[in-house]
Amino acid sequence: SGLLQRVPRITVEKAHRYPSAKQWEAADLVVFYLQMQPMKPSQFAMMDAFLQRGGGLVAIHGAFIQGPIGTEVAKRFGLAWKRGQTRWGVLPMPSSVEPGRVHGILEDFPDELALVDEHYWGLDGKTNELNVLVTSQAGPQKGSKGPPKDNQLDGKKWPIFWTKEIGKGRVFGSIPGHN
């Protein structure tokens, strides 16, 4: 938040666990990074109203891990952790910008990104409802002493950056963010 506070005409407020109703009403953009579980129906209702009026959500890394309410989180963030299905490990390098996915977020980015970070795959959600911007294959599950080798990759394209529109609202999802 320190960097954003230096931008002209930007006001930054922190919220521990979940924004208040007053914060939702005043915000144009809400960024989620940490696990907030368990979210309640009243909190989802505030998020839904915010998106319907045209608010923006950014969900980064740990925000996707919300325990048994993952399906409800996936409806808003696009994807979410699903116990017994989702896997994690080291993010292989490079990650690929999807061909034809022109988006302002990726302006002036190369076709491949070398990110040193943690990767989640097999998340709950409907990828056909996402504008997937960047993908990566998955390698071995859990820890590693470095990026997976080519012969350890699964050959699939897992979303790591995407956008989603909900009503007038827009969402940006980022699996990277651990490091």
Record the tokens describing residue 39, joined without a space: 């979210």
Residue 120's pLDDT band (boundaries 50, 70, 90)? very high
**Could you give the CA distance from residue 177 to residue 93 in angstroms, rounded to a whole number?**
15
d(CA 176, CA 179): 8
Amino acid 99: pLDDT: 82
**What value does the mean pLDDT of the chain take?**
90
Write the pLDDT tens digit of every residue in 5-20.
788 888 888 888 889 9
Task: List the end-to-end C-alpha distance of the chain, in Å, as a whole number.
Answer: 16
Among 52-56, 66-70, 122-126, 147-151, which stretch is predicted with the lowest mean pLDDT?
A: 66-70
Q: Of the candidates 46, 48, 49, 112, which has an alpha carbon nearest to the alpha carbon of residue 77?
A: 48
Q: What is the pLDDT of residues 70-107, one digit of tens each?
A: 899 999 999 999 999 999 999 998 999 988 777 888 88
- Look at the block and give the residue holding tokens 């999807």: 98
pTM of the model: 0.91
**Which stretches of the chain are assigned E, i.e. beta strand?**
29-32, 56-60, 87-90, 95-97, 112-113, 118-121, 131-136, 158-166, 169-174
Q: How far is CA 82 from CA 70, 95, 137, in A?
A: 6, 23, 19
